[in-house]
Structure 1
Amino acid sequence: MTSVKEFRVAEPATASSLGRGRFVFTDAYSVFDWGQMPDDVPRKGASLCVMGAYNFEELAAAAVPTHYRGVVDPTAVDAGADPESAVVPLAEARTPPTEMAIELTQVPELPYRGPEAGYDYEAYHAAGGQHYLVPLEVVFRNTVPVGSSLRRRATPTDVGLEATEWPDEPVSLPEPIVEFSTKYEERDRYLSRAEADAIAGRADVASLEALARRVNRVVTDRAEATGFTHHDGKIECLYDEGELRVADVVGTFDENRFAWNGHGVSKEVVRQWYKRSDPTWVEAVSRAKRDVTDRDIDDWRTLCTETPEPLPDAVLDAVSTMYAAGANAYTERTWFDVPPIDEALQTVERVVGQ
């Protein structure tokens, strides 16, 4: 189980073949790598499933290989159908789905050998062989929004901008940039190209970058067609006997950052609320991530002295409506009975603050 998605395995992956299974999208959410937070955001799971499925089908139309098989039609399951027999294209789902059918690959254990030796990627790849999930996140950026980690790691001139300091508003990049970060380490870290190449195993880093750029183009084109601005996002990939396929989920408000008329539409809204309203916990998280560096353990959460506050009901409702209205607008189909995206974001600005 991940922090916000559950797995259902129909046929397990093996060393010689991919398996079959499903993601179950829950209403749980996670910020700052904490894992599952103390409350749920209603309709979030269905919203992400709808957007992810829509984007996978757009990628298929653009001949981008993925692990997507379809969505599970909730109406058919409610009528007694087995979920594996109720897999349909998104357009045939009669109500908002929460399950996505996918092909599965192997995810070997990544041993931690202590602060000096670090993680044993050789063991990971030895176990993965020719079928494994590449232990990287491939990040693409079209803009540098407020809150982007790039503002801490680079100067404007590093990315081709003619400025000495980062402005207080999102900045468009002259060309999209691609970065690599770790996937399964307890603390995400950005990598040099050489480090990413070593961690990728048999996967080719140049091919990973090219695939990320193709995905970025498809999502950016769809965003522009429906009134959104696509700031940044990421992909994860599986390696299947020499072929790379896009895995996990693509182009949702959790994996990517979007805006609508200058208003952020993504999980970043929740991150910023915690920074303003629960700074004690946010600082405790940062401190724990720093303090674990020289320890023999890699789980920084065991060192965190604080726990997050639940979101107030008004914030939960506003964020829930934002996810649902955004999915309606992006797919141009009324999946959820919620106000239009403009009205939903006005409520977010009033209740949550941006």
Structure 2
Amino acid sequence: MTSVKEFRTEEPATADAPGSGRFVFTDAYSVFDWGQMPDSIPEKGRSLCAMGAYNFELLEAEGVPTHYRGVVDPTVDEAGGEPEAVELDAVAEPPREMAIDLVQVPDLPAEDGSYDYETFHAAAGENYLIPLEIVFRNSVPVGSSLRSRRDPGAVGLDAAEWPDDPVNLPEPVVEFSTKFEEQDRYLTREEADRIAGRATLDDLAAVAREVNRVVTDRAESVGMAHEDGKIECCYVDGEIRVADVVGTFDENRFSYDAQEISKEVLRQYHKRTQPEWVAAVDAAKTAADEQGETDWRALCEREPEPLGAGVIDAASDLYTAGTNAYLDRELFDAPTLDDAVAAVRSLGD
């Protein structure tokens, strides 16, 4: 299980061919790489499944290869029948399970804070999950790590210093970060090229830009702004396919009427209400780097506190109302997006 998804294998992948399986989207959430937090967000899993499926179907229509094979109709699954993968439009209720092709995911050995990608790729062959996250950015908020890693001119801005306010980029910026390491880290092009294995960075960047275009266009059509996001990809017999899940409120950041409507709401809420825990997380990650440790959580001196019921309700409504708006379909029994956004804004009062 990942921090928010269960993983079920129906037919294992082999060195010669992909297998088949399912993602089961839970209502768990994770912030700051912590893993599962103390609370769950009702209907979050179904909203991510529906939004991810919708985006996969948009990508397939645009000719972008993916590992997506449909969603599982919850009414068939609950009735005890033999569930089959169907298109999102074929289900009347929000799905929780997504059918996918599986590829090989070899172990990534680690010792003394160093990861052995040569061993990973020796076992990966021609059919594997690429151990990178490909990040794309359309804007740069205040506090973004990009500001400390790149000069404004390097990303197309006509400025000697970063503005004090959020800024839109003239062209999307694509970066690469680690996928399977205990702590995500951004990579130089040389590092990313070595970690990617047989996949080329130019091809991965081209796929990321196409995903970004499709999601951005859809968001704009329903009044949302798509700020940034990430994808994962698999490599199958020379072809790059989009994997994991795409364009959801967990993987990407969206805003509506100048209000964040993604998991960023929960990140910022924790920064405001549990600053000691956030600081402890940062300190543990720094200590792990300095000590050559991979398990930074073992060094963290604090645990996150549960959320209040009002915060959980507001977050749930934001996920479901946002998904309804993005799909332009009343799939969930949820308030309007305007009302959900107003409730989230009140959390800062």
Q: Which runs of structure 2 are paired with 1:290-301 in the superposition (5 Å)?
A: 290-295=286-291, 297-301=293-297
Q: Deviations over 1:242-294 (max 9, x none)?
A: 11000000000000001111111111111111111101110110011011124
Mapped pair 1:194 → 2:190: yes
User: In structure 2, how many angstroms separate the alpha carbons of the residues matched to 1:137 and 1:66?
Assistant: 15
Aligned length: 349
- Aligned pair partner of 1:94 in 92, 95, 98: 92
- Aligned pair partner of 1:222 in 218, 231, 239: 218
Q: Deviations over 1:33-62 (max 9, x none)?
A: 000000100110011001000000000000
- Aligned pair partner of 2:109 in 100, 111, 114: 111
More off after superposition, 290-299 vs 261-270: 290-299
Q: How far does residue 148 in structure 1 lie from its aligned partner after superposition? A: 2.8
Q: Which runs of structure 2 are paired with 1:120-159 in the superposition (5 Å)?
A: 120-159=116-155
The runs of 4+ residues in structure 1 deviating greater than 2 Å are 145-149, 151-158, 162-170, 294-297
Contact 2:234-2:240 within 8 A present in 1 as well: yes
Q: Deviations over 1:1-58 (max 9, x none)?
A: 1000001111011111101000000000000000000010011001100100000000
| One-letter amino acid of the structure 2 residue matched with residue 111 of structure 1 | P
User: In structure 2, how many angstroms separate the alpha carbons of the residues matched to 1:164 and 1:309?
Assistant: 41
Secondary structure of 2:110 counterpart: coil
Q: Deviations over 1:297-342 (max 9, x none)?
A: 3110000010001111111110110000000000000011111111
User: In structure 1, how many angstroms separate the alpha carbons of the residues matched to 2:335 and 2:164?
Assistant: 29
| One-letter amino acid of the structure 1 residue matched with residue 34 of structure 2 | W
| Residues 190, 266 of structure 1: alpha-carbon distance in 2 compared, 3 angstrom cutoff | same
Mapped pair 1:24 → 2:20: no
Q: Deviations over 1:46-91 (max 9, x none)?
A: 11001000000000000000000000000111222123xx321000
- Aligned pair partner of 2:302 in 306, 326, 330: 306
Secondary structure of 1:70 counterpart: strand
Secondary structure of 1:190 counterpart: coil
| One-letter amino acid of the structure 1 residue matched with residue 67 of structure 2 | H
Q: Deviations over 1:89-143 (max 9, x none)?
A: 000011000100000011111011214xx11000000011111100000001111
Q: Which residue of 2 aligns with 1:172?
A: 168
Q: How far does residue 154 in structure 1 lie from its aligned partner after superposition? A: 2.6
Q: How far does residue 349 in structure 1 lie from its aligned partner after superposition? A: 0.4
Mapped pair 1:211 → 2:211: no
Q: Which residue of 1 aligns with 2:2?
A: 2
Report sequence identity in percent.
63
| One-letter amino acid of the structure 2 residue matched with residue 256 of structure 1 | N
Q: How far does residue 296 in structure 1 lie from its aligned partner after superposition? A: 5.0
TM-score scaled by structure 1?
0.96
| Residues 41, 221 of structure 1: alpha-carbon distance in 2 compared, 3 angstrom cutoff | same
Question: Is there any run of 5+ residues in structure 2 with no aligned partner, and where?
Answer: none
More off after superposition, 74-83 vs 10-19: 74-83
Q: How far does residue 152 in structure 1 lie from its aligned partner after superposition? A: 3.1
Q: Which residue of 1 aligns with 2:228?
A: 232
Q: Which residue of 1 aligns with 2:325?
A: 329
Contact 1:160-1:173 within 8 A present in 2 as well: yes
User: In structure 2, how many angstroms separate the alpha carbons of the residues matched to 1:269 and 1:157?
Assistant: 30
Mapped pair 1:244 → 2:213: no
Secondary structure of 2:190 counterpart: helix
User: In structure 2, how many angstroms separate the alpha carbons of the residues matched to 1:44 and 1:252?
Assistant: 10
User: In structure 2, how many angstroms separate the alpha carbons of the residues matched to 1:164 and 1:130?
Assistant: 45
User: In structure 2, how many angstroms separate the alpha carbons of the residues matched to 1:289 and 1:296?
Assistant: 10
Q: How far does residue 163 in structure 1 lie from its aligned partner after superposition? A: 3.4
User: In structure 2, how many angstroms separate the alpha carbons of the residues matched to 1:311 and 1:303?
Assistant: 23
User: In structure 1, how many angstroms separate the alpha carbons of the residues matched to 2:17 and 2:116?
Assistant: 24
User: In structure 2, how many angstroms separate the alpha carbons of the residues matched to 1:338 and 1:168?
Assistant: 36
Contact 1:318-1:352 within 8 A present in 2 as well: no
Contact 2:72-2:97 within 8 A present in 1 as well: yes
Q: Which residue of 1 aligns with 2:50?
A: 50
Q: Deviations over 1:158-196 (max 9, x none)?
A: 322233444454311011110000001111111111110
Secondary structure of 1:227 counterpart: coil
